Amino acid sequence: MTETARCIIRPVALTDAPFILALLTSEMWKRFIGDRGITSIDQAKKIIEHSYLPLLERTGFGPYAVVLKESKVAIGTVGIYQRDNLDYPDLGFCFFTRIHQSRLRI
């Protein structure tokens, strides 16, 4: 876990499934990353369980939830990902549109 003045950055957990579902179906995710066809909390749990958590365990890096300290609300994800088509790890992130619009300094 890492902290900034306003946020906590921690590994994604199974309990984040509702948040992950909201993020994966958000306008920003679909526009810049793509529609993954995830439409239920159970599907979001499966993504976390079968993709996110094994990646964190296997490589030591992967998706992290960015949570506002004051409200404890998750606002997006950031992570380092080893993609099959790249020689080096890639930095990825996505935040809800309202966060981009507010220009929050994390």
Show me where the domains of the chain are located. Answer: 2-102
CA distances from 40 to 1, 78, 105 (A): 27, 22, 31
Which of 2-16, 18-32, 71-85, 86-100 is predicted with the least confidence, judged by mean pLDDT? 86-100
User: Residue 99: is its pLDDT beyond 80?
Assistant: no
Return the half-sphere exposure (C-beta side, CA atoms, 13 A cut-off) of residue 8.
Answer: 12
More confident call, 21 vs 103 = 21
Round to whole Å and give the CA distance between 66 and 34. 20
Residue pair 6/99 in contact by the 8 Å Cβ criterion: no
What is the per-residue pLDDT across 22-64, written as a single tens digit (0 to 9) for each?
Answer: 999 998 889 889 999 999 999 999 999 999 999 899 888 889 9
Reported pTM:
0.86
Quick one: pLDDT at residue 21? 97
Residue pair 47/23 in contact by the 8 Å Cβ criterion: no
Kindly indicate whether the domain formed by 2-102 is annotated with CATH number 2.60.40.10: no
Round to whole Å and give the CA distance between 11 and 26. 20
